[in-house]
Structure 1
């Protein structure tokens, strides 16, 4: 196969292209959280039942998570620039439909459509970076910016969602995507020059598409259903069993077909496998924390939507500093595992601080420094993880390798929200039940129980991050990127010292 061309760096527009790729990535990431704050108001306006409310989130997650591998393969087959622009235009149209929704069906359809076009857009964006930036130092800078956005976009979504909901109305959480998408699509069309020789023109693996899509949809739906129906619910268990069977059949199919949707060489190379696994675990912890802090600040402390959004700014600042200052500066100097493992451990230290939450914890004394540590650690780890996930991959596979990063994050987000929320709810119920008889103030007991549930789940989140750090340290064995050819590619590169080192 043709290797990474290296001459892509001769394109003088690559840094301009990065602006539009980053803009599109910000839109996709913040859309995973921006709707959350607006959901109560939208539910009331559109008459969505409590039972169907979760589908506003789930419809997006299922379409996005289920179709990511297919979207990555389309980018390899059809061309990354074309897929990127089509994804942006489609996302803008879906957002317009969501903002104009007049009822439940129209809203849910728009969210699913956003997920479909997001699944085209996200892997195309990352794979464009992979094929356009092959020089080690430039790659470090480009992925530093991308990693900061991928990590901090969720917190930005909470802030923007709070502003739009409080000062305009919930419909603007959809309409705000339109200028983002149009600007990125127009800029990308005129600026991006995709390197030649990076197209994969093999016939589409239809059985792989069907099995992977159904398997991932079943997995994501199983976790989202478990959150509100319980882990022993018959349909929840059935979804997990179906997912296991479908994904096993998918792996067996990919090992046999001539032109697989996901070449197993992309998945089994130890460095990329370590990235996918450790990053997925880290996202479990991070998305769970987003959920708990949002509830703590709004319900326990009485923050408004805008105040809640501002309260997440320390995490965003930490992400940006960790990614662009620490990760970017060190990525060409140390092996990636020496950034990822310590980064996850620093993030775990920040999360551990939040196990001390109580009803009147100081924001400045506890919550802000905890967020800063979490952001610094995640930003430092995300950037080399994003870069390593596509480095050393043949250009014809870069789209599907990029999709695997997004898939690990999407599945991690679904697992984190469901698993940690279930742990928190169970701990809250036990706490309240044990103290209900002698409670003088039932409302106070309810709040105390809620905080107890949050801190119990936060201990689990910290443990998961420690496991992510261990996996990154053990599995990822690539050396410094400047110790080998900057454009080196090819499977098995992780065994040489060539490979260098990022949503609901």
Structure 2
């Protein structure tokens, strides 16, 4: 992967901790709000049709700015971009907590999404280049994987606790002190670095095209569920978003200093890892969203109890990502771990498709969630290692932003598609005379099977695109960069 980032007097693991806590805070915020939406609606007096914008106002700038923020990290320094993003995110969170009406909360959530995108875009790039030793690289990426997945699993629990025992404002207030500490510690612990300079890639038109295109695409996707896929808005804005993104790609092919060097995609590993992540995250959102709905609306759990129900999956992901993934990747290689993890994820969704109306958490949800945690804990670090291992340190920021963008778009598209099928199936069963719980469960079962199909497709694509490497010799330090890459697999920059 190249030379590690410059060191400071602080332990590099302190830097990893700061980066991963920042990532977890941002991921938590994306999930913690969902549980508190009813309380937010009561507290501020949100109308039913505008309540969704508490979520969308964050998601749209977050998904739209990741590529630009990642590239800025390469140009002006990832440390500067990360700390700026954390500071903006924390300040906007504080303002969200003090919001007293719809307009102010939506506006502050937009700013919070901007800060989240700026901060998170560079995190994976810094984590992946912190160490040159393969096992430490794998451990660092495992910690990042846990921060991303564990934050998503813990979000509903923390949201339920804060909302039930304090009030909805604290889902935002909690970010302010954490962000302040991260900035103070990060200033001393994160290595200083010189970016390539804005003159090396200040493609302002390209930045405008990709940011506008991505924001419009995310907006079209997240609002399609409200206005309909066949609405004039969706049919007009969707093609416009695609046109802007195509224009960005065309410009990158001809401009002297591209924002996103297209040569990156000549790396089969980077391209395949992003495609696999897109499909896998599209399916994984099915567990977080429809699993929560099943536990609450069918099994009858409260929001707090439902949040507690996701603790085991977070524990399993933490145990595997932090305790075993690096050693397993070092011993067996990234591809076997990626494929093994995805097989387990598919099995988990199939298990969930057998959930019962009169079921129990211990039988119908817990075993599948534990298998899911094991699968994701194995697959995510291997997937990220395969993708980032093919990128030079100078391009780590844009590659990190690309990974985050793929994740956001995959999640948004996956959830929207699954929701459409769930709604259609539930309505069909209701019209056929099924009870409300049975109709809901029928929709959720279909979502779990479709999610399994997404991950199975990712497995097939990964097997076809990711080359198999020979196992490292016993005298060679194996791991993320143990085997020299095929010359055809190295990006032309």
* Band the TM-score falls in, shorter-chain normalisation: over 0.9
Q: Determine if the alignment matches structure 1 residue 457 to structure 2 residue 447.
A: yes
What is the CA-CA distance between 1:74 and the residue it aligns to?
A: 1.3
Match of 1:171 among 169, 185, 189: 169
Q: Determine if the alignment matches structure 1 residue 135 to structure 2 residue 126.
A: no
Q: TM-score, normalised by structure 1?
A: 0.91
**Cα deviation per residue 1:10-65 (whole Å; 9 max; x = unaligned)?**
96621111111111011011111000001111012212211111111111110000
State the partner residue of 1:472: 462
What is the CA-CA distance between 1:388 and the residue it aligns to?
A: 2.5
**Bigger mean CA offset, 81-90 vs 334-343:** 334-343
SS at match of 2:292: helix
Q: TM-score, normalised by structure 2?
A: 0.93
Q: Contact conserved, 1:478 with 1:497, CA < 8 A, in 2? A: no
What is the CA-CA distance between 1:457 and the residue it aligns to?
A: 1.4
Equivalent-residue separation in structure 1 for 2:314 and 2:366 (angstroms): 11
SS at match of 1:435: coil
Equivalent-residue separation in structure 1 for 2:107 and 2:277 (angstroms): 30
Equivalent-residue separation in structure 2 for 1:326 and 1:33 (angstroms): 26
Equivalent-residue separation in structure 1 for 2:319 and 2:14 (angstroms): 22
Equivalent-residue separation in structure 2 for 1:367 and 1:170 (angstroms): 28
Call closer, same or farther: CA 1:201–1:396 in 2, change over 3 Å: farther
State the partner residue of 2:377: 379
State the partner residue of 2:90: 92
State the partner residue of 1:251: 249
Q: Contact conserved, 1:332 with 1:480, CA < 8 A, in 2? A: no
What is the CA-CA distance between 1:175 and the residue it aligns to?
A: 0.6
What is the CA-CA distance between 1:87 and the residue it aligns to?
A: 0.8
State the partner residue of 1:442: none
**Bigger mean CA offset, 292-301 vs 341-350:** 292-301
Contiguous gaps of at least 5 residues in structure 1:
437-444, 500-504
The CA RMSD over aligned residues, in Å, is 2.4
State the partner residue of 1:439: none
Equivalent-residue separation in structure 2 for 1:487 and 1:322 (angstroms): 17
Equivalent-residue separation in structure 2 for 1:488 and 1:377 (angstroms): 19
SS at match of 1:353: helix
Equivalent-residue separation in structure 2 for 1:496 and 1:23 (angstroms): 36
Contiguous gaps of at least 5 residues in structure 2:
none
Call closer, same or farther: CA 1:101–1:482 in 2, change over 3 Å: farther
Q: Contact conserved, 1:198 with 1:395, CA < 8 A, in 2? A: no
Q: Contact conserved, 2:314 with 2:373, CA < 8 A, in 1? A: yes
State the partner residue of 1:440: none
State the partner residue of 2:359: 361
Call closer, same or farther: CA 1:9–1:497 in 2, change over 3 Å: farther
Match of 1:223 among 221, 224, 234: 221
- In the TM superposition, 1:154-169 aligns within 5 A as 154-169=152-167
Equivalent-residue separation in structure 2 for 1:7 and 1:21 (angstroms): 14
Match of 1:328 among 304, 310, 326: 326
Equivalent-residue separation in structure 2 for 1:464 and 1:339 (angstroms): 18
Equivalent-residue separation in structure 2 for 1:252 and 1:497 (angstroms): 23
Equivalent-residue separation in structure 2 for 1:316 and 1:55 (angstroms): 28
**Bigger mean CA offset, 379-388 vs 35-44:** 379-388
**Cα deviation per residue 1:356-404 (whole Å; 9 max; x = unaligned)?**
1122212112211100011110111111222232223222211110001
Equivalent-residue separation in structure 2 for 1:165 and 1:7 (angstroms): 41
- In the TM superposition, 1:44-63 aligns within 5 A as 44-63=42-61
Equivalent-residue separation in structure 1 for 2:323 and 2:313 (angstroms): 15
Equivalent-residue separation in structure 2 for 1:370 and 1:246 (angstroms): 41
Q: Contact conserved, 2:35 with 2:160, CA < 8 A, in 1? A: yes
**Bigger mean CA offset, 363-372 vs 316-325:** 316-325
Match of 1:447 among 430, 437, 448: 437
Q: Contact conserved, 1:344 with 1:469, CA < 8 A, in 2? A: yes
Equivalent-residue separation in structure 1 for 2:318 and 2:18 (angstroms): 18
Equivalent-residue separation in structure 2 for 1:257 and 1:358 (angstroms): 56
Q: Contact conserved, 1:8 with 1:131, CA < 8 A, in 2? A: no
Equivalent-residue separation in structure 2 for 1:288 and 1:488 (angstroms): 30
Aligned length in residues: 487
Call closer, same or farther: CA 1:201–1:81 in 2, change over 3 Å: farther
What is the CA-CA distance between 1:348 and the residue it aligns to?
A: 0.9
Equivalent-residue separation in structure 2 for 1:5 and 1:371 (angstroms): 39
State the partner residue of 1:502: none
- In the TM superposition, 1:155-304 aligns within 5 A as 155-194=153-192, 201-304=199-302
What is the CA-CA distance between 1:200 and the residue it aligns to?
A: 6.9
Q: Contact conserved, 1:320 with 1:379, CA < 8 A, in 2? A: yes
Call closer, same or farther: CA 1:417–1:197 in 2, change over 3 Å: closer
State the partner residue of 1:105: 103
Equivalent-residue separation in structure 1 for 2:275 and 2:9 (angstroms): 34
Call closer, same or farther: CA 1:349–1:302 in 2, change over 3 Å: same
State the partner residue of 2:394: 396
Call closer, same or farther: CA 1:255–1:485 in 2, change over 3 Å: farther
**Cα deviation per residue 1:232-287 (whole Å; 9 max; x = unaligned)?**
12211222211221111111111111111111122331101111111111111111
Call closer, same or farther: CA 1:487–1:279 in 2, change over 3 Å: closer
Equivalent-residue separation in structure 2 for 1:44 and 1:6 (angstroms): 50
Call closer, same or farther: CA 1:264–1:345 in 2, change over 3 Å: same
State the partner residue of 2:406: 408
Equivalent-residue separation in structure 1 for 2:432 and 2:390 (angstroms): 56
What is the CA-CA distance between 1:5 and the residue it aligns to?
A: 2.2
